[in-house]
Amino acid sequence: MSKMVIKRFACNEIYTKVGETVRGKNVFIVQTATQDVNEDYMELFLLCDTMKRSFAKSVHVVLPHFGYSRQDRISEPRETVSAKLIADLIVKSGADHIVTFTLHSDQIQGFFDIPVDNINAQKLFVDYFKKKNLRDAVVVSPDAGGAKSAKNFAVQLGFPLAILHKSRPRHNVSEVTHVVGDVRNKVPIIYDDIIDTAGSVCTAKEALVQAGALDKVYLAATHPVFSNPATERLEKANFKEVVVTNSIPISPEKQLSNLKVLSLAPLIAKVIQNITKEKSVSNLYL
């Protein structure tokens, strides 16, 4: 671990300084996007620039949660594609390589002009749920966009797949209109990439129970954004278990009684080790 100075001036501008020489070194910056996503990114840009101006040989950014990833296309007139803009800013600030986990859409890799390792955290969930020895379970994708990832998850667990068809009348609001697949008398595992306000997944649980599924619904997602009122909604929904990774730190006030957090740390360590030794990274999660 390198010595770093990160502080703020009276005007709230961020100051960064590396406390030792990095000249000719391969530098790994581990930074994720939390609820303070704008502050996190500004800090990351300055850290990358600091390393480049300190003559680092290469700057590898380990970004467990890529913030702004859901704004990856223009769905309505006069919108921005924020994911592309953030990618450009990271590259411009001096990053040579990105390591991230479970991007919202795979095509975001193409937004970068530098190599990107998009690590799928799915293996962590597969290993976890296999140990539960669940019977009559079904993997559920909360929308059509996540069907491919959910199908792969279902295949690895040996469970059938169901897909929910939903509509979004406005931002952070969703309505389930159809349940595609047999969920009657089964234990659902809702599998998604992000839990933001938890409105979609809580609505999904209600729809599954109404369609005949057992009221023992598991929720699994890589990134626990947990924007308000997510905690209250998840507690009220009474999931059997909410399983997430620590790609985003969960503050004490957002802890759930049924929360299980899977650590990305061993996987990140292996990824960094393999990059340093110029070995394959894909074999760690495929």
Active site residues: 166
Task: Region of 198 please: left (phi>0), alpha (psi -120 to 50) or beta.
Answer: left
DSSP state of 56: B
- Which residues 6+ apart lie within 8 Å of 103 measured at CB? 66, 69, 109, 118, 193
Instruction: Judge whether 108 and 101 are in contact, CB under 8 Å.
Output: no
In the three-class reduction of DSSP (H, G, I as helix; E, B as strand; rest coil), residue 227 is classed as coil
Instruction: Judge whether 126 and 157 are in contact, CB under 8 Å.
Output: yes
Cα torsion angle, 137, 143, 146, 148, sign: positive
- Structure-token pair, residue 141: 């994708």
- Structure-token pair, residue 76: 């309505």
Helix H or strand E segment including 156: helix 147-157
What angle separates helix 147-157 from helix 122-130, to the nearest 10 degrees?
Answer: 40
- Which residues 6+ apart lie within 8 Å of 204 measured at CB? 140, 142, 164, 166, 176, 190
